[in-house]
Structure 1
């Protein structure tokens, strides 16, 4: 069984529609794929309607969090998408994305970069606008060669010249909300130092005590030493270890199924969750 528990669609900052994503998951030989768009579940219905036979969908989201000034992401799996408290927090984060993007555009214009809100909005389409859309605009304008090159101190990285903060959830509150909605909480790419400062291990210890279920270890932004260190920490703390592609379509170089989660860990995630259940494919019919 091949299980990929971290992907994005056009509902946030991916380039494949939810329907295209689940069809590509089948072509990639995945048995299970999680749709975890940033702070939204808007793509779930389309993904379920298009889900090929033989592929199971895990519904989820990647929640934007911040602790001690450090940005981090929390993967939430199989929660009740209509649970009021978690829904309200997701909406609060999403509503802050537009003024944040507009603030970054203003800073870019002050630096002489001719980016516009209309350009970024076109790139974002119906998705929740975010830094990757601004980065794509910089690529279109020839300012940087790739999206990843936009995430540097010169441009969009945390604390960079055009960085603008947005509302982000305290991770301990995120864990509480996810668990309260019947979901499972996994810290996404905790050792991705190329993205900026990473959360210290002491904070992960505290999150584990607060109910964190797991850490995403096998990820394209983790080198071998980082994976080994995180795997050891997870064992020490009794946390689940997941692996995922963090697929974004053509916006990033990762491919579906590049890293996967052990089927036994996937089974444990489904046993812990009670807010929603995995959806088996029905050949594209609801």
Structure 2
């Protein structure tokens, strides 16, 4: 079997459903060779790191990482867009990184309150307490808000009402028709984000991040903690950051690389061909500049990781990713079990 890796996963520390131990044991049962913990603006606590240390010597290896929420590079200002930077082989005790995580968590709570207020105006039953309960008080994000909405069955009627309104407008607006068709192809799990929980959602329920380093600041933060920094799931920023800009960042050593294994849920939709070409283009640019080509499952649930492994035509591309880091970059293996 191919030595499949997943250098992008989430736990209950941010918006995942599994603890560090549960995710590790699942990864081991599925035959994953390397598992990176990359929670949103968060790193494992000393207690969790001590628990991870007990997994040394096991067949599956772990890596400490994070996923930093960042803004665009300065040359693209005044354009705005939220992007995510994966950091791997990080020192979880680094003071600057811990400070960033604290500031980000506080900003996330304020942002959550703004989104809850907007959703209440749309008629949804939801409270800030519901969202915090879903998150466990850590790194609260949109998935927790969706879970809080699902707590009340009456909210399903409002979701369906907004979906029907979007369907009606889609019949007259080609741009909305494209987004609506894609939403329907991806299924119900995607409805809240397209309908009201994204920057370009059909109805206004989204709130921007108040605290957010730009790309260069995020990379400096990761490198300062001893890690390597790569752009996550490029398709989420491609409309604001063309490949030419990505190549410029890479040539100037302002980023270490990018994920090339991402977006598995886009396959089977009308965006499948575009994503396949995009991933191939990224690989070509990375090869040209000696950049790191990485990626993983972006798993938030048991089902996500199982789906990733089941589609080994996709996940199999990750074989050797970690070794490529060791061959081309200086990283401290102390922050892993490798």
Q: TM-score, normalised by structure 1?
A: 0.87
Aligned to 2:256: 213
Q: In 2, distance between residues paired with 1:266 and 1:116?
A: 42
Say if 2:70 and 2:215, in contact at 8 Å, map to a contact too.
yes
Aligned to 2:41: 39
The 3 A distance-change label for structure 1 pair 50 and 134 is farther
Q: How big is each residue's C-alpha offset from its partner over 1:89-145, in whole Å with a ceiling of 9 and x where there is no partner? A: 222212200010011000000111111112111211243101111122233442548
Say if 1:9 and 1:37, in contact at 8 Å, map to a contact too.
yes
Aligned to 1:200: 242
Q: How big is each residue's C-alpha offset from its partner over 1:37-77, in whole Å with a ceiling of 9 and x where there is no partner? A: 11111365276056372111011000001113111100000
Q: In 1, distance between residues paired with 2:301 and 2:321?
A: 25
Please report how far the alpha carbon of residue 181 of structure 1 lies from its aligned counterpart in structure 2 after TM superposition. Answer: 1.8
Match for residue 294 of structure 2 among 228, 237, 242: 242
Matched, 1:155 2:196: yes
Aligned to 1:51: 55
Please report how far the alpha carbon of residue 203 of structure 1 lies from its aligned counterpart in structure 2 after TM superposition. Answer: 2.8
Aligned to 2:145: 134
Aligned to 1:231: 283
Q: Between the two structures, name the one with larger relative contact order (CA 8 Å, sep ≥ 6).
A: 1
Aligned to 1:280: 337
Match for residue 179 of structure 1 among 223, 226, 243: 223
Q: In 1, distance between residues paired with 2:319 and 2:229?
A: 17
Q: In 2, distance between residues paired with 1:47 and 1:18?
A: 9
The 3 A distance-change label for structure 1 pair 87 and 184 is same
Matched, 1:73 2:73: no
Aligned to 1:265: 321
* Larger relative helix fraction: 2
The 3 A distance-change label for structure 1 pair 23 and 254 is closer
Q: In 2, distance between residues paired with 1:250 and 1:151?
A: 21
Q: In 2, distance between residues paired with 1:108 and 1:252?
A: 27
Aligned to 1:25: 27
Q: In 1, distance between residues paired with 2:54 and 2:278?
A: 37
Give the number of equivalent residue pairs.
278
SS of the equivalent of 1:96 reads helix
CA RMSD after TM alignment: 2.6
SS of the equivalent of 2:87 reads strand
SS of the equivalent of 2:69 reads strand
Q: In 1, distance between residues paired with 2:226 and 2:256?
A: 12
Which structure 2 residues correspond to residues 3-18 of structure 1 after superposition, within 5 A? Answer: 3-18=5-20
Aligned to 2:115: 104
Larger Rg: 2
